[in-house]
Copies of this chain bind each other. A is one copy, B any other.
Amino acid sequence: MDKQGLKVLFHVNEMEKWDTALGNITNLIKDVGRGGAEIKVVANGPSVAAYSDSSRLEVMKALADDGALFMACRNSLRKMCAGTDTCLTEAALPPFIKIVPAGITEIVRSQSEGFAYVKP
């Protein structure tokens, strides 16, 4: 079966789902090969905090080098900074992470553009 041209968006909104998500993405790339799938990862809600975790960022960076696009929801970053959690400023995000105004819109629009949806 043709594996070319696959497009998928991974939705991560809880911290405890990152390991599963990153494992899924690793397995997908291993199976279809680099370039075999267009991969987006949208983090919204508390899960954006993972973007300040250096050990996780290392894994993400390797996947980004393989073509995965990691995104952070600006609404969620701001909510985190307004609350009691550690504040993660946009400037502090590694350059390979893209900020989107509203993660939820990215999730919906991507599906309208043919991306599959996976909730790890």
Collect the chain B residues with CB atoms within 8 Å of residue A1's CB: 109
How many interface residues does chain A have, given as a range?
35 or more
How many copies of this kind of chain does the complex include? 3
Cα A25 to Cα B13 in complex, Å, equals 14
* Contact present for A101 and B31 (CB under 8 Å): yes
A107 at interface, CB cutoff 8 A: yes
* Contact present for B108 and A6 (CB under 8 Å): yes
Interface of chain A residues 1 through 40 with chain B (CB within 8 A): 1, 3, 5-8, 11, 13, 20, 23-25, 27-28, 30-32, 37
* Contact present for A27 and B104 (CB under 8 Å): yes
A73 to chain B, nearest CB (A): 8
Query: Contacts A27-B102, A45-B20: A120 and B6 contacting too (C-beta < 8 A)?
Result: no
* Contact present for A117 and B120 (CB under 8 Å): no
* Contact present for B8 and A108 (CB under 8 Å): yes
